[in-house]
Copies of this chain bind each other. A is one copy, B any other.
Amino acid sequence: KVECNLGLNQKLKAGETKLCRFRYDAVKDLFQKPATVLIFLGVEKRKNPSSSSDGVREPPAWFAIGTDEDTVELLKRSREKNCCFPKSPHRDLLKLNEEEAGVMAQARSVLAWHSRYSFCPTCGSSTSLEEAGYKRKCLNSECRSQQGVHNTCYPRVDPVVIMLVIHPDGNQCLLGRKKMFPAGFFSCLAGFVEPGESLEEAVRREVEEESGVKVGPVHYVSCQPWPMPSSLMMGCLAVAVSTDIRVDESEIEEAHWFPRHLSSLTLGKKNFYPFSQTTNQLIIRHINQQ
C-alpha cells in the first residue's frame, strides 16, 4: 500500500479542506524502512520573500513519502488535530484549492508510478529510484534502456479529453452517464487520447464511439491534472454536426441533449456530476458565460 504522506485537515470552515504537513522529525524514522519511497515535491514559492518571518532563511522544501505504515500510527505523528487520510480521494481532492490540489496531484501520480513501475518494462529487471524520485533506472547493465533517452525511465502522464458537445442549434449540450454513477447524474463525455491522434481527433473519436454523435469544430478550454492515477484532463468544447444518439452500452448507460443554460448543478430531476473544481465544471461554466 503506497499512500500519499499528505494528510488532510478536514475540520476547517464548512467545506474547506487543507493539506496537513508533517515535520521532518515526525517522519524521519520512516526513512530507515526499506519500503519507504521519498520524492521531492519542490521548494515553496514565497510571494513576498522580504516580509517572511524567517528572516533570511531559505524557503522550506516539501517531499512526499510512500510508506506501508498503518495510517492510524501515521496520524499520531501529526501535530495537527482533525487530520485524516482521504477515504474517497476523488471527492476530497475537489475540496482543495487549486494550488494544494496540484501538490496532491504531483505526489499521488509520482507515488502511484513508483508503486506500479518498479520493474523495467524493457527487460523485466528491478529498477532503482533516482533523481529525487523522478526517474527509475534499470539495474541490468545490458538493458537497452541504458542507451539513449526513452520514456520507460520517466513517470507517466496520460492525456485525456473531456468535452462538452454542443448541439448544432447552439442551445443544447450532450451529457452522458456511466452505470457506476449515482442515480440521475450526468457528466461530460471523456476518454484517453490514443497514440497517433491529436486532441481534436481524440474528441471526435470518443464522442462518436460513446454516443454516435459526429463532431466538427473543437476548441480547447482548460486543463487539470487528475491523479487517478496520472491523467491530464484537457477540457474542450465540441460542436456537433449530427444529433442522433446511439450509445455504446459498454461505456455509457444513457446520453441526452440538455438545455445549454444549465442554471445550476441541478436540472429538474437530472443532476450533473458534482465536480466542483474540475474541468468538467469549468467548461460548463465557460459555455454559460458565452
Contact = CB atoms under 8 A, between A and B. Distances in A.
Nearest to A231: B151
Contacts of A247: none
B107 A230 contact: no
Interface string A167-209: 0000000000000000000000000111111111100000000
A82 interface: no
10 contacts: A102-B196, A103-B196, A116-B121, A116-B152, A118-B121, A124-B124, A156-B158, A157-B195, A159-B232, A199-B223
Interface of A: 102-110, 113, 116-126, 134, 144-145, 150-152, 154-159, 192-201, 220, 222-225, 227, 229-230, 232, 234
B229 A197 contact: no
B234 A102 contact: no
Contact of A105 (B121, B151, B196, B220): B196
A195 B119 contact: no
Contacts of A150: 116, 229
Nearest to A126: B124
A9 B4 CA distance: 52
A133 to B, nearest CB: 10
B121 A199 contact: no
A119 B116 contact: no
For A102, A113, A223, the residue with the greatest tally of chain B CB atoms inside 10 Å of its CB is A223
Task: State how many copies of this chain the complex holds.
Answer: 2
Contacts of A116: 121-122, 144-145, 150-152
Contacts of A121: 116-121
B155 A194 contact: yes
A197 to B, nearest CB: 6
B223 A113 contact: no
Contact of A193 (B192, B198, B227, B232): B232
Contacts of A108: 196
Given A106-B196, A198-B232, A223-B198, A124 B117 contact: no
A191 to B, nearest CB: 12
A240 to B, nearest CB: 18
Contacts of A125: 124
A102 B201 contact: yes
A122 B122 contact: no
Contact of A110 (B102, B155, B195): B195
